[in-house]
Amino acid sequence: MAGLSFSESVSATAADGILVVTIDNPPVNATSTHVRIGLMAALDHAERDAGIIGVMLTGAGRTFVGGADIREFGKPPLEPLLPDVINRIENFDKPIAAAINGAALGGGCEIVLACHGRIAGTAASFGLPEVKLGIVPGAGGTQRLPRLIGTIAAIDLIGTGRIVKADEAVTLGLIDSVAADPLAAAEAMVRDLATRPLRRTGQLAVRAEDTAAIDAAAQKVLGRSRGQTAPGQTVRLVISASTTPLAEGLADERATFLRLRDSEQASALRHVFFAERLAGKVDGLEKIVARKIETVGIVGTGLMGSGIAVATLNAGYRVIGIEQTEEAAKKGRERIAGILEKAVQIGRLDAPGLADRLQRLTVTSEMEALAAADLIIEAVFDDLTVKTELFQRLDVVVHDDAILATNTSYLDPDAIAAATRLPERIVGLHFFSPANIMRLVEVVNCAKTAPDVLATALAFAKRLGKLPVVSGVTEGFIGNSIFSAYRREAEFMLEDGALPHEIDAALEAYGFPMGLFAVYDMAGLEIAWARRKRQASTRDPNARYVDISDRLCEAGRFGQKAGRGWYVYPGGKRTVDPEVTALIEQARREKAIEPRSFTSDEIVTRLLKAMADEGDRLLAGGIAARPGDIDLVMINGYGFPSYRGGPMFAAGRR
Ligand code: 3H9
């Protein structure tokens, strides 16, 4: 078996007439320039050598090919271009089979689509997630995928960027089969293909499907991607594949790819992509070994605690829920089981999965049960005395290596830690509700948190499939600090002349799923009101304070549940209420403010600036490590549109 090297990232071995080409370009075998050069050289070799009857393509390590090299975007493309490499694979005279060892995403999936045979290992996954980067596939994905799996399934996969596992890929027809040893199976396939005419994906006709069903699939994608350019373009390109000759479809796809690659949305989403990879990385923590966590205690199994319990069970841990009474414990268990059963009803979980989770769950009123826990997360009422007393009790019940985490959103975790025996084991884990669904977790690095405690909290959040962002201690941590600045600015504008529906309309046109005042109505106004009342005595009397939301609460306008808040809801429809307008006008008159009008653009610019200024304050104070961390918090916890890149990114572009 001779070893051949075609570039620094592509090598091959030739045995019994088959050239096994391996792409080795860590970390994810992206199709960087030297990969493309190496693949072309390998094909040259296979073409020239009459002894070679066929080729196998595989990836080194855990990934097949993670896609085009995103770090090369923005630089002039160097030849050979990926579409040319892929076209050559499809039209190659000798059979080429992909032995797909791991993720085949974006350009990696496009390589697979053009191969003549496609065999996956059990760990393989497939997808064209380009829309998540604000682009469309640029190397044939929109044209070849529908030829293999049909228009409807292709619209779904490419329009959403959804990743599928090997089994589903077989069912869809994206690949031929799954094998425990994909290399051996692909070799057999190449030998077989060498004896017959090759089936080339690009030459297949897209199968006919019901036009109403195609339309429904398209509408589903378009409905979910309001404001974003790329998903609509993928739908257009996929649909055109059934009526357009391949070369024309590929040219249209390529032109669309290049146009979108240089767009503002694509650079925002690339920023988000790289920010996500950096999030949770803390200087100095690289070599710290995390503590072992097997059993997690969750104190309080209300809305937040039960969501955390479900996320923790889903990640394979044992969970001990704690409630004050046996009656409450029974209800807590039912709440957690209820969420899991709903997951079964909608097909997200199967019956054995449910049984396995329930078997790992105990809910009790006996705090002593926590002696077995390695990490305890409290999710009780957000009150300093309640939480401090709880931590003092936990301090004597749990073992000394156990970590204690608080889920507080506003309280000072350093004050809680100071009241305990081992403050270095206290950390914040601020989940967002519903905690089993929301990806964001603020991991709060308290003044005395030990490095291995922080490392453990980060590793735990990642194992839950969450996006952990580290925050230092400040009131409201990163998210609620920025949100407060945003809310404050919106209320200033309210006094200065903008009405709630004007501010909401500007935010929704910008891409927020819901404007600020509509969100307040949905969440209820009373909790923030109670907090403002508590803080009244410590508020700076010289700072500008807008009391309009206090007036709303005094009038019993607590939001949607009360039927009225910033808006009224006749028949469930959000409607402007002249009474609120009158109340705002009254407040302005009392302060002798002459109202002026605001354009949508001005509203958004002011709100972004307020958020970014607060973000700068957090960065200067070391509360947030990177602007990208702040962007991720606002995107994943507060509805900031990801395709705008987050407030720090967006404010910097204005
Ligand atoms: C595309 O293909 C366009 C084509 O249609 C057309 C072309 C003409 N490039 O996520 P991880 C880095 S668009 C460059 O933590 P995991 C990442 O930054 C592309 N770098 O690993 C990180 O670096 P660092 C479509 C990349 O094991 C490191 O790899 N493809 C790329 O959890 C590890 O990343 C996608 O959108 C890349 N393409 O997950 C797939 N991908 O260590 C994007 C990753 O310095 N990638 N890096 O922080 C993924 O989804 C995951 O990385 C993957 C591995 C599932 C592959």
Q: Confirm or reject: Cβ of 67 under 6 Å from ligand 1.
A: yes
Beta-carbon neighbour count of residue 231 at 10 Å? 25
Ligand 1 center from residue 29 Cα (angstroms): 9
Is pLDDT of 154 > 90?
Answer: yes
**What atom of ligand 1 comes closest to residue 63's alpha carbon?**
56
Q: Confirm or reject: Cβ of 66 under 6 Å from ligand 1.
A: yes
The model's pLDDT over 244-276, given as tens digits with 9 standing for 90+, comes to 999 999 999 999 999 999 999 999 999 999 999
Question: What interface predicted TM-score (ipTM) does this complex get?
Answer: 0.98
Report CA torsion sign: 399, 400, 405, 408.
positive
Rg (CA), the chain: 28
Contact 100, 52 (CB under 8 A): no
CA angle at residue 35 from 18 to 14, to 5 degrees? 15
pLDDT at 489: 97
Domains of the chain: 2-266 (3.90.226.10), 295-471 (3.40.50.720), 479-622+624-650 (1.10.1040.50)
Q: What is the rounded average pLDDT of the residues 570-594? A: 96
Q: Confirm or reject: Cβ of 133 under 6 Å from ligand 1.
A: yes
Q: Confirm or reject: Cβ of 105 under 6 Å from ligand 1.
A: yes
pLDDT at 382: 81
pLDDT at 653: 85
260: nearest Cα among 109, 74, 428: 74
- Between strands 103-105 and 63-65, the pairing is parallel
Residue 30: which residues within 8 A CB-CB, separation 6 or more? 65, 66, 67, 68, 69, 70, 107
Q: Confirm or reject: Cβ of 129 under 6 Å from ligand 1.
A: yes
The model's pLDDT over 445-494, given as tens digits with 9 standing for 90+, comes to 999 999 999 999 999 999 999 999 999 999 999 999 999 999 999 999 99
Question: Which residue among the candidates 47, 79, 90, 110 is catalytic per the annotation?
Answer: 110
The DSSP letter of residue 70 is G
The model's pLDDT over 422-433, given as tens digits with 9 standing for 90+, comes to 999 999 999 999
Ligand 1 center from residue 426 Cα (angstroms): 34
614: annotated active-site residue: no
Region of 626 please: left (phi>0), alpha (psi -120 to 50) or beta.
beta
Q: Confirm or reject: Cβ of 65 under 6 Å from ligand 1.
A: no
pLDDT at 298: 98
Q: Confirm or reject: Cβ of 103 under 6 Å from ligand 1.
A: yes
pLDDT at 280: 87
The two three-digit tokens of residue 349, written as one number: 């979980």
Contact 478, 630 (CB under 8 A): yes
The model's pLDDT over 274-302, given as tens digits with 9 standing for 90+, comes to 999 999 899 999 999 999 999 999 999 99
The two three-digit tokens of residue 615, written as one number: 């973000």
**What atom of ligand 1 comes closest to residue 66's alpha carbon?**
56
Helices 230-240 & 211-224 angle (0-180, nearest 10): 160
The DSSP letter of residue 76 is P
Question: Could you tell which of 65, 69, 70 is best to mutate to test the pocket of ligand 1, judged by most ligand atoms within 8 Å of the CB?
Answer: 70
Contact 329, 365 (CB under 8 A): yes
272: nearest Cα among 651, 649, 653, 622: 649
User: What's the mean pLDDT when you consider all of the chain?
Assistant: 96
Within a 13 Å sphere around the CA of 560, how many CA atoms are in the beta-carbon half?
11
Is pLDDT of 2 > 80?
Answer: no
The model's pLDDT over 328-383, given as tens digits with 9 standing for 90+, comes to 999 999 999 999 999 999 999 999 999 999 999 999 999 999 999 999 999 998 88
Q: What is the rounded average pLDDT of the residues 175-179? A: 98
Ligand 1 center from residue 23 Cα (angstroms): 15
The model's pLDDT over 214-241, given as tens digits with 9 standing for 90+, comes to 999 999 999 999 899 999 999 999 999 9
175: nearest Cα among 128, 113, 123, 130: 113
Question: Could you tell which of 28, 163, 286 is best to mutate to test the pocket of ligand 1, judged by most ligand atoms within 8 Å of the CB?
Answer: 28
pLDDT at 1: 57
Question: Which residue among the candidates 8, 72, 130, 389 is catalytic per the annotation?
Answer: 130
pLDDT at 472: 97
Ligand 1 center from residue 71 Cα (angstroms): 9
Q: What is the rounded average pLDDT of the residues 143-170? A: 98
Residue with tokens 């979980």: 349
600: nearest Cα among 608, 592, 612, 610: 608
65: nearest Cα among 26, 95, 37: 26
pLDDT at 383: 85
Percent over 90 (pLDDT), the chain: 94
**What atom of ligand 1 comes closest to residue 81's alpha carbon?**
8
Q: Confirm or reject: Cβ of 253 under 6 Å from ligand 1.
A: no
3-state secondary structure 424-470: HHEEEEEECCCCCCCCEEEEECCCCCCHHHHHHHHHHHHHCCCEEEE
pLDDT at 364: 97
Residue 496: which residues within 8 A CB-CB, separation 6 or more? 593, 595, 596, 598
pLDDT at 165: 97
341: annotated active-site residue: no
The model's pLDDT over 384-395, given as tens digits with 9 standing for 90+, comes to 899 999 999 999
Is pLDDT of 654 > 80?
Answer: no
The model's pLDDT over 188-204, given as tens digits with 9 standing for 90+, comes to 999 999 999 999 999 99
Is pLDDT of 3 > 60?
Answer: yes
Amino acid 274 reads F
Q: In angstroms, rounded to a whole number, what is the distance separating the alpha carbons of residues 327 and 331? A: 6
| DSSP codes joined into one string, 34-67 | HHHHHHHHHHHHHHH-TT--EEEEEESTTEEE--
Residue 433: which residues within 8 A CB-CB, separation 6 or more? 303, 304, 307
| DSSP codes joined into one string, 458-522 | HHHHHHTT-EEEEE-SSTTHHHHHHHHHHHHHHHHHHHHT--HHHHHHHHHHHT-SS-HHHHHHH
Residue 5: which residues within 8 A CB-CB, separation 6 or more? 11
Q: Confirm or reject: Cβ of 28 under 6 Å from ligand 1.
A: yes
Sheet holding 403-406, edge to edge: 361-364, 318-322, 295-299, 375-378, 403-406, 426-431, 440-444, 467-471
pLDDT at 50: 96
Backbone angles phi, psi at 21, to 5 degrees: -100, 130
pLDDT at 410: 85
Is pLDDT of 76 > 90?
Answer: no
The two three-digit tokens of residue 63, written as one number: 């990934």
Contact 63, 103 (CB under 8 A): yes
The DSSP letter of residue 286 is T
Ligand 1 center from residue 24 Cα (angstroms): 14
Beta-carbon neighbour count of residue 87 at 10 Å? 18
Is pLDDT of 69 > 60?
Answer: yes
Q: In angstroms, rounded to a whole number, what is the distance separating the alpha carbons of residues 388 and 302? A: 19
Q: In angstroms, rounded to a whole number, what is the distance separating the alpha carbons of residues 402 and 291? A: 9
**What atom of ligand 1 comes closest to residue 110's alpha carbon?**
5
Is pLDDT of 584 > 70?
Answer: yes
The model's pLDDT over 406-423, given as tens digits with 9 standing for 90+, comes to 999 889 999 999 999 999
Q: Confirm or reject: Cβ of 258 under 6 Å from ligand 1.
A: no
